[in-house]
Amino acid sequence: MLEAARCIVYRDLLLALRRRTDVATALLFFVIVASLFPLGIGAEPNLLRAIAPGVIWVAALLSTMLSLGRLFAADHADGTLEQLALGAAPLGVVVTAKTLAHWLLSGLPLVLIAPVLAVQYDLPQALYGVLALSLLLGTPVLSMIGAIGAALTLGVRGGGVLLALLVLPLYVPVLIMGAGAVEMAAAGLESGGQLLILGALLVFTAAFAPWAIAAALRISLE
Amino acid sequence: MTTAVRWFWFASPHTFFPLAGTIARWSGLLAVPFALAGLYVGFLVAPTDAQQGEVYRIIFIHVPAAWMSMFLYLVMAFWAALGLAFNTRLSAMMAQAIAPTGALFTFIALWTGALWGKPTWGTYWVWDARLTSELILLFLYFGFMALHASIDDLRRADRAAAVLAIVGAVNVPIIYYSVQWWNTLHQGASVSFTKAPSMAATMFLGMILMALAFWLYSIAVAMVRVRCLIVERQ
Amino acid sequence: MLQAKELECERGGRALFRSLSFILEEGEVLRVAGANGSGKTSLLRILCGLLPPASGEVIWKGAPIQALKEDYSRQLVYLGHAPAVKDDLTAAENLAIACRLAGNAQPEEALREALARFEVPRKLFVRQLSQGQRRRAALARLALSAPVPLWLLDEPFTALDSSGVAILRGTLEQHAARGGAVAFTTHQDPGMAAAKVVDLDA
C-alpha cells in the first residue's frame, strides 16, 4: 500500500516537473490576485495591514481551486485513472496519494510564497510565523475538500465554475479560522485557539475525505 | 419483519405514487390552519416590542424559515445517504424533491432578514451570524441542484449529488460554528438578530406554529415534486 | 473461473443487454462481439468492477467481485479503450509505473524485453509516438502479466498494423495456453480461434 502511494506521488511529481508551467501559473495567480486588491482599494498602509490576512487567505483559496482542475482530469482523459482504480492498492490510498502530491505542488508553495505577499501588505514580521502556520495547516484541508469537488465534477459540463460553487462554501470554515488566527495575532491576542481548530479540521478532513473522494471517483468512473 | 417488507414495497416509485398524492393532499390541507394560527399569534396576539415596535414581527417568518432551511438540508442529506447506501431510486428522488423547497426557505430567511434589517439597523444586509450562515446554506443548496443538473446520466447525477449532500451536511455545523466565531471577532454584539427581544411564551408559540405550518407545506410540496419526478423518469 | 450471472446493463435510460450469462474457464478466450453501441465496453467494465450492473452479478472463483474488491483487481489486467499511458512519460516509465501499481514491480531487463517484444521505442515520450505505437506501449504490459489470470481487453486490436496484430494474437494465445483467461471485445475479426463468442446483438 505504501509502495503504491509512493509510486503515485512520484509519478505525479515527475509529470508536474515535465509540465512546470502548469504549476507555475497557478502560483503566479496567487501573487497576482493578492496584488490586485491594493490597486482596487488604495494603498493606504493601515488599511492594507488590516486586510492582509483575509486577502492572502482568499488568494490562497482561489489559487487552490484553480489548480484542482489538474488533479484528476488529465488522468481521466487518458484512461490512467481507471488503472489507478483497478490497482492493487485501495482507492482511498490512491486518492490520498494524489491529493498529497497535489498539495505538495499547489499548497506548500503558497506557504512559502506567503511571506512575499505579506511584505507587499506591510504585515509585521512577527506575524509571518502565524501566517505560514495557518496556511500550512489549512492548505491540505483545501486540497482534500477540493479533491471531493474535483472528483464529483469529473468530465462534467461547466466543470471549473461548478467546482467553485460546490467547494467555496465548504472552504468557509478554513478561511475564517485561518485568517482569524492571523488577525488575532495582529490584535495582540492569543491565536493558538484558531490554530488548534485548524489542526482539528485537518485531522477530521484527513480521516473522512478519502472516503468521500474515493466514493465520488467511483461514481464518476461508472 | 413485515414492517421491513412493507417499507421496501413502498420504496418502489410505482407503489409510492398514490401514497405521495394522499400525503400531499392531507399535509397541504393541514398546513393552512397552522399557518393561520401562527400568523394570528405572531401578528395579533404577541405583544409589541418596546425597542423595535411592530417591525420585529417579521421574526415569526424569519426564524421558522431559517429553522426549516437547516432542517430540510439534513432531511435531504438523509434521503440522499439512504439512496447511496441501498441504491433505491425513490430515496434519490426524495432528495431531489426537497432541495428546491429548502432553497426557497433559505431565500425567505435571507429576504425577511433584509426586510427586518432596513428599518431596524438602516441597511438591507447585515453580516450577522445567522444571515451569513443562511447565505452559505443557500450556496450549498444551489451547488446540490447545479451538480445534479450538470450531469447527464441520471444515476450518476443522483449519486454524485448524494455524496455532495452528505459532505455538506457534515460541514453545516462546522460552518455554523465558525461563522458564529467570526461574527464575534469582527463585530460587537450590537448588531445581531440572535439578540432578538427576549422570548415571551406567546412569541415562542407563534414561531412553533409557523414552523409546523412550513413543515407541512414542505411535505406537501415535496410529495407533489416526487410525483412529478416519478412520472418524468418512467 | 469467471461467471457472469443474469447481467443487465442500462446506459442513458436504455437497457443495452438483459439476462446475460456466461462462464469463462481457465485457458479460454472469449470474444465479445456486437455492433457499435451494443454495450461491449460496458460489459467489460462490469466484468472488471468499474461499472455496477443494473442487476445480476459477476462471480470470480465462487465469490462476488463486489465483495473481493482489491483481491479481485489484483488478479486481472484491464486495458480499456484509451491506451492508459501518460503523454509526458516515456514508454519505459509508463510500463514501470503500471507494473508497480498493479503490485507487480518488474526489473529493468524485464521491462526492456516486454517493450522489445511489442516493438515499442523505449526512450521516446509517449506524445511523440503514433496511435499504433501508443497502443503497443499499453499492450506491452501483457508481456509482463503472465501471473495475472484474467485479462480483460477492450478493442485491443485497434490501430495495430498486421505485425502488431500478430504479436498480440500470439501473446493472447500463449496466455490461454498457460491456463489464463482472456476476454476481449472487437468489432473486427482478429483471426483468432476464440473458444467462445458472446454476441451482444443477438
B80-97 burial code (b ≥16 CB/10 A, e <16): bbbbbeeebbbbbbbbbb
Question: CB atoms < 10 A from the CB of C56, how many?
Answer: 16
**Domain of residue B207, residue span:** 2-232
User: Quick one: pLDDT band at residue B76, thresholds 50, 70, 90?
Assistant: very high
Average pLDDT rounded to a whole number, residues C91-109: 89
Spatial separation of the C-alpha atoms in residues B110 and B130, rounded to whole Å: 9
Q: Give burial (CB, 10 Å; 0-12/13-18/19+) of C127.
A: exposed
Q: What is the DSSP string of C19-47?
A: EEEEEE-TT-EEEEE--TTSSHHHHHHHH
Provide the domain count of chain B. 1
Does residue B125 contact residue B114 with C-beta atoms inside 8 Å? Answer: yes
A18, A83, A221 ranked by CB distance to C98: nearest: A83
Cell of B163: 455524496
The complex scores an ipTM of 0.91
User: Quick one: pLDDT band at residue A84, thresholds 50, 70, 90?
Assistant: very high
Does residue C63 contact residue A59 with C-beta atoms inside 8 Å? Answer: no
Residue A212 and residue B167: Cβ atoms within 8 Å?
Answer: yes
Average pLDDT rounded to a whole number, residues B28-46: 83
How distant, in Å, are the alpha carbons of A69, B32, B107, B139 from that of B145?
A: 21, 28, 15, 10
For residue C80, give the 3-state DSSP assignment. Answer: coil
Residues of B with CB under 8 A from a CB of C: 152-155
In this prediction, what percent of chain C has a pLDDT beyond 70? 97
User: Quick one: pLDDT band at residue B199, thresholds 50, 70, 90?
Assistant: low
pLDDT in tens, C180-196: 899 998 877 767 766 68
| Strand ranges (E), A113-215 | none
Contacts A8 to C, Cβ<8 Å: 101
Place of cell 427586518: B116
DSSP state of B41: I
In chain C, the domains with their CATH numbers are 1-75+149-202 (3.40.50.300), 86-147 (no CATH)
Inter-chain Cβ pairs, chain A and chain B, closer than 8 A:
77
* Chains with at least 3 CB pairs less than 8 angstroms from chain C: A, B
For residue B165, give the 3-state DSSP assignment. Answer: helix
User: Quick one: pLDDT band at residue B20, thresholds 50, 70, 90?
Assistant: confident
Query: What per-residue confidence (pLDDT) applies to B8?
Result: 64
Query: What per-residue confidence (pLDDT) applies to B92?
Result: 92
Inter-chain Cβ pairs, chain B and chain C, closer than 8 A:
5
Spatial separation of the C-alpha atoms in residues C122 and C115, rounded to whole Å: 7
Question: pLDDT at residue B203 above 90?
Answer: no
Spatial separation of the C-alpha atoms in residues C199 and C58, rounded to whole Å: 18
A-proximal residues of C, 73-112, CB under 8 Å: 73-74, 76, 78, 80-89, 93, 97-98, 100-105
Name the residue type at position C91: A
For an interface test with B, the pick among A58, A145, A152, A195 (most B C-beta atoms closer than 10 Å) comes out as A152
Query: What per-residue confidence (pLDDT) applies to B190?
Result: 44
Spatial separation of the C-alpha atoms in residues C74 and C101, rounded to whole Å: 10
Question: CB atoms < 10 A from the CB of A103, how many?
Answer: 23
